[in-house]
Chain A
């Protein structure tokens, strides 16, 4: 196999059909970029699960009477609730935070917003049991068991909020992938069409190649490689696009929640591993398969 020959055929083919080549590369790039964006959202959700998974708590809020009067949780019904929680098989750790402590934490968290601090009275904050569960999936059992107990105003499962947030992110991911899939169909059709046009413009060459006894590798590999090269360039553009969007857009827009530690930062490394190799692999695979099928269906051997 003379690679220099095949390579020069590929380059000639791409140049000869330059408008189609550009269209093919751009569509592929957009499709892969969206796929990559979706993959990054998945990574983000995974990071968040890792970060928050251990810290997700169930909060048991006491009513105003107890919160205001029983700071040490020594009297009934607070002491009873405490011992019930401590002996609950689902609960791994129980931490009591009284009104004073809750207010101190509130002041700390919202130190940047003095207006809010001025408006908030200490009495508005309830005493709280922060529970860490042995199995976070059992949170609803705790919610059901303790919600209506005397002295308890409400039981809140933080995991539900987190899941709701993940739900939004998953929705974003799914929407991205649907658009990526539609774009991918356009890319496939373009690749297929480009190969057909390419084969048509080179029918004299291919005819001669067949007559002098060139194998199918020689006659068809240039077309196949044309598609793969375009796919690869598309993948590189997609990765560059992701890096650009991250740097210019995502980092700025999400700067606050990122610095507050709510949303994990998308690192450059996340884009280069494993997203970039995945995009390159998908690009090669899809363009090669499309090319092969097109040649099989439309181009005589």
Chain B
């Protein structure tokens, strides 16, 4: 599913590599927390998986795509197999909830009868049935993040990347979002979540990959946030 072999990433603007000789494997259906302080390389890690960046060294495979050697024309295919959720939701404020979710399908050319069918389904899955016609600014933070998750999941990606999805939410709402991500994970979708949230990592007891200064310093099968630091 995800395989990094001695991957390094250098940016021209920095002398220190953002990622330094990282080797990690993640299997289909896994739930993995990616933790580490700011600047440890988490964002670079996620950007490499999306092929927003190209590794400076090493090999990288995502959903059977060879990221280091793939042509630009195949990037959309890769990204269609990955769903993304962010701390700031990134919803389109001038579109309704349903339109926000449908947008993800429209722009990859899905036929409208498919869109009409699957958008209500996914809204029900994330617990937003009945709010399809609301505008994003009429929703709470937790609901907005649900819309973002619905949009990321509506195309049934093989993998869901979540970059601090609970960063803007209170603990209770964060817990609800985590339940939702677990539910999505149970459908067989790999979930990789970058986070700073101790309590969530500690309570879920899932695999934890910890980065520091661009290196993997810990990879526990059922880890907690604080150990090893």
Query: A residues engaging B (CB < 8 A)?
Result: 1-2, 5, 204-205, 207-216, 218-219, 301
By Cβ-Cβ distance, the 6 closest A-B pairs, closest first, are: A213-B80, A213-B79, A214-B107, A213-B76, A212-B104, A209-B107
The distance in angstroms between the C-alpha atoms of A215 and B83, with both chains bound, is 16
Inter-chain contact A218/B108, CB cutoff 8 Å? yes
Contact mask B45-85 → A, CB, 8 Å, 1/0?
A: 00000100000000000000000000010011111111110
Q: A120: shortest Cβ distance to chain B, in Å?
A: 81
Question: If the complex has contacts A212-B155, A214-B76, are A207 and B90 also in contact, measured as CB distance less than 8 A?
Answer: yes
Q: Does B106 count as interface, using CB distance less than 8 angstroms?
A: yes
The distance in angstroms between the C-alpha atoms of A214 and B80, with both chains bound, is 8
Inter-chain contact B79/A212, CB cutoff 8 Å? yes
Inter-chain contact B155/A1, CB cutoff 8 Å? no
Inter-chain contact B72/A208, CB cutoff 8 Å? no
Inter-chain contact A204/B90, CB cutoff 8 Å? yes
Inter-chain contact A214/B90, CB cutoff 8 Å? no
Enumerate 15 A-B pairs (CB-CB under 8 Å) in ascending A order. A5-B107, A208-B90, A208-B107, A210-B79, A211-B50, A211-B79, A212-B80, A212-B84, A212-B107, A212-B108, A212-B151, A213-B78, A213-B80, A213-B108, A219-B107
Chain B residues positioned under 8 Å from A211 (CB to CB): 50, 79, 84
Question: If the complex has contacts A212-B155, A213-B80, are A218 and B109 also in contact, measured as CB distance less than 8 A?
Answer: yes
Interface size of B by Cβ–Cβ distance < 8 Å?
23
16 extra interface residue pairs, beta carbon distance < 8 Å, beyond A204-B92, A213-B155: A2-B106, A2-B112, A205-B92, A205-B103, A208-B92, A208-B107, A211-B84, A212-B80, A212-B104, A212-B108, A213-B76, A213-B108, A214-B108, A215-B76, A216-B76, A218-B108
The distance in angstroms between the C-alpha atoms of A219 and B81, with both chains bound, is 18
Chain B residues positioned under 8 Å from A207 (CB to CB): 90
Question: If the complex has contacts A5-B107, A204-B90, are A301 and B79 also in contact, measured as CB distance less than 8 A?
Answer: no
8 Å CB interface, B96-146 against A:
103-104, 106-109, 112
Specify which of B50, B103, B106 lies most central, judged by the most chain A CB atoms within 10 Å of its CB: B106
Contact mask B147-161 → A, CB, 8 Å, 1/0?
A: 000010001000000
The distance in angstroms between the C-alpha atoms of A1 and B107, with both chains bound, is 9
Inter-chain contact B109/A2, CB cutoff 8 Å? yes
Chain A residues positioned under 8 Å from B83 (CB to CB): 212
The distance in angstroms between the C-alpha atoms of A204 and B90, with both chains bound, is 7
Chain A residues positioned under 8 Å from B76 (CB to CB): 213-216
Nearest-CB residue, chain A, relative to B104: A212
Question: If the complex has contacts A5-B107, A218-B108, A301-B72, are A213 and B77 also in contact, measured as CB distance less than 8 A?
Answer: yes
The distance in angstroms between the C-alpha atoms of A207 and B81, with both chains bound, is 17
Q: A1: shortest Cβ distance to chain B, in Å?
A: 6
Chain B residues positioned under 8 Å from A218 (CB to CB): 107-109
Chain B residues positioned under 8 Å from A301 (CB to CB): 72
Question: Per a CB cutoff under 8 Å, which of A1, A204, A205, A208 touches B109?
Answer: A1
Nearest-CB residue, chain B, relative to A8: B106
Chain A residues positioned under 8 Å from B155 (CB to CB): 212-213
Specify which of B77, B103, B151 lies most central, judged by the most chain A CB atoms within 10 Å of its CB: B103
Q: B184: shortest Cβ distance to chain A, in Å?
A: 16
Q: A225: shortest Cβ distance to chain B, in Å?
A: 15
The distance in angstroms between the C-alpha atoms of A18 and B36, with both chains bound, is 47
Nearest-CB residue, chain A, relative to B79: A213
Nearest-CB residue, chain B, relative to A211: B84
Chain B residues positioned under 8 Å from A219 (CB to CB): 107
Q: A12: shortest Cβ distance to chain B, in Å?
A: 9
The distance in angstroms between the C-alpha atoms of A207 and B76, with both chains bound, is 13
Specify which of B76, B80, B103, B108 lies most central, judged by the most chain A CB atoms within 10 Å of its CB: B76
Chain A residues positioned under 8 Å from B50 (CB to CB): 211
